[in-house]
Amino acid sequence: MDVVTCNNSTNIYIALMIMFPLCWGIYEIKKFREQFNDFKLTTDKLLKKVDDITNNKLDNYPFINDCKKFVDKFNSFFSKRKK
């Protein structure tokens, strides 16, 4: 049986071929996790605003509050006319 031997430089190249993509993948996963946390913070802020609007807490949103008042007056005007 023949014994397969590799010289030292070949072993280093093989190790680099395996380790470089592995390290790059770990780095990319870390960056993705940071971006995902930023996305989560943004969606949490958005969901809080949507929750405030759906629960009629419109003090911080004057345009939406004015639109709601206008629609309420408009609806009350036409509901009185129907009768």
Residue 82 pLDDT > 70, yes or no?
no
The verdict on residue 36 lying in a domain is yes
pLDDT of 3 > 80? The answer is: no
pLDDT at 44: 96
Domain assignment of residue 63, given as a range: 8-82
Would residue 3 count as lying in a domain? Answer: no
2 inside domain: no
How far apart are the C-alpha atoms of 51 and 5, rounded to whole Å? Answer: 68
Predicted confidence at residue 11, as pLDDT, reads: 80
- The answer as to whether 1 is a domain residue is no
Output the pLDDT for position 81.
64
83 vs 80: CA distance, rounded Å: 6
Q: For 10-19, 29-38, 44-53, which range has the lowest pLDDT when averaged over its residues? A: 10-19
Q: What predicted TM-score, i.e. pTM, was given to this entire model?
A: 0.56
* Total domains present in the chain: 1
Give me Rg for the CA atoms of the chain: 31
Buried-state track 42-73, b at ≥16 Cβ within 10 A, e below 16: eeeeeeeeeeeeeeeebeeeeeeeeeeeeeee
Confidence band (pLDDT; 50, 70, 90) for 6? low
